[in-house]
Amino acid sequence: MTALTSAKWYTRIIGVFFVLVSVSLVSDYIQFGFRPETMHKIFHIGLGLIVLRYGWNNAAWWRPFAIGNGLFFSSVAFFGALFPDFAGLDAFNTTDTVLHAIVGLSGLVVGFFYPQNVGRVKTA
């Protein structure tokens, strides 16, 4: 798999999985009502919808998204590792910290291995 398709599939997979958090949101809301975790899940869903709308077929989006998403979620995972269960928020529990680390680190790997010269014309 080339780096170009890796970045494309990273972007698409993140978009789809983040939108699928809506299933968990509905279940969580029915069980617990509105709470801080609700906003955490709404953030993921919103980001997923943005990614699906603007990043699905937009090659100019793939590398910057992978790097930006990778930096953000790696930072969240690092914070969650330093401060487990911070303020009782589910976003920083062990499971979410591991998931944030996977999303973040995979984004950084994919983003930094994406070719720098995509779309540029070579001149002899």
Look at residue 69 in the predicted model and tell me its pLDDT.
97
pTM for the full model? 0.85
CA dihedral of residues 101, 41, 95, 10 (deg, nearest 10):
-40
pLDDT tens digits along 52-65: 999 999 999 999 99
Return d(Cα 16, Cα 52) in angstroms, integer. Answer: 7
